[in-house]
Amino acid sequence: MENLKKDLENLADPEKAKILSRFFKTGKGQYGEGDFFLGIVVPKQRTIAKKYARLPLGDIGRLLKSKIHEHRLVSLLILVNTYKNADKKDREKIVDFYLKQKRNINNWDLVDLSAPNILGEYLLDKDRTVLYRFAGSKNLWERRIAIMSTFAFIRKNDFKDALRISGVLLQDSHDLIHKAVGWMLREVGKRDLKAEEDFLDSHYMAMPRTMLRYAIERFDEEKRKKFLNK
């Protein structure tokens, strides 16, 4: 683990770190408050994750407790790859570990790169009650995990839970949930336009503007105006 940290330190870019700190809202009172960036782009972090692909869960857990954003992201990239190559028994252990560590999965990129590929994949053939519990959570990141996990189902043309959880989150107060829900609705529409439009016809009046704009991003101009001007 110490070698992994040194490899990341060697890739650190202070100027990029300043940009990322602003982009991920690390200021006082913002959603990323307390997060510290080394300034490393994701492709380079993926390379490090591959190099340390066999990192034990114990070390992954210690990295997830770090205040350094790249430590947490690399640890999750390793965990995603570990899950992908694991057998059924080990996948159960990884998902249990993931859920126990969720308090450290606390920025939108950390959620988006891990939730669909670990929790979502695991729940493809299982009860999904946990996602509805997360959707009703006071914790922003649990709510984002709830909707982003449904991306795994959407990729399999299973839209039911994505649409239901979108409905649960319709009145959410946070912009990051508006964007995530709109994104997942757009992904549903890529595969089944009618399913997305039926949802929009029923709910667009109650949808936050950002959510609606994300959802209709791929529509032609005439159809976008139809929803935006209603």
- Token pair of 3, please? 């070698």
DSSP-assigned states of every residue in 125-167:
GS--HHHHHHHT-S-HHHHHHHHHHHHHHHTTT--HHHHHHHH
| pLDDT digits 0-9 by tens, 173-225 | 999 999 999 999 999 999 999 999 999 999 999 999 999 999 999 999 988 98
CB-hemisphere CA count at 13 Å for 214?
Answer: 19
d(CA 165, CA 181): 9
Q: Rounded mean pLDDT of 96-117?
A: 97
Domains and CATH numbers, the chain: 1-106 (1.25.10.90), 115-230 (1.25.10.90)
Q: Evaluate if residue 165 carries a pLDDT over 80.
A: yes
Q: Rounded mean pLDDT of 47-68?
A: 96
d(CA 153, CA 96): 20
Residue 14 has a pLDDT of 96
Neighbours of 57 (CB within 10 A): 17
Q: Evaluate if residue 230 carries a pLDDT over 80.
A: no
* pLDDT band at 228; cut points 50, 70, 90: confident
- Token pair of 31, please? 């959603």
- Please state the pTM of the whole predicted model: 0.94
Residue 138 has a pLDDT of 97
| pLDDT digits 0-9 by tens, 125-139 | 999 999 999 999 999
Q: Specify burial of residue 61 (Cβ count, 10 A radius: 0-12, 13-18, 19+).
A: middle
- Token pair of 35, please? 């997060």
d(CA 112, CA 204): 24
Q: Evaluate if residue 147 carries a pLDDT over 90.
A: yes
* pLDDT band at 1; cut points 50, 70, 90: confident
| pLDDT digits 0-9 by tens, 12-42 | 999 999 999 999 999 899 999 989 999 999 9
Coil vs helix vs strand at 33? coil
Coil vs helix vs strand at 101? coil
Of 136, 175, 132, nearest to 32 (Cα)? 175
Residue 226 has a pLDDT of 84
Residue 98 has a pLDDT of 97
The per-residue pLDDT of the chain, averaged, comes to 96
* pLDDT band at 71; cut points 50, 70, 90: very high
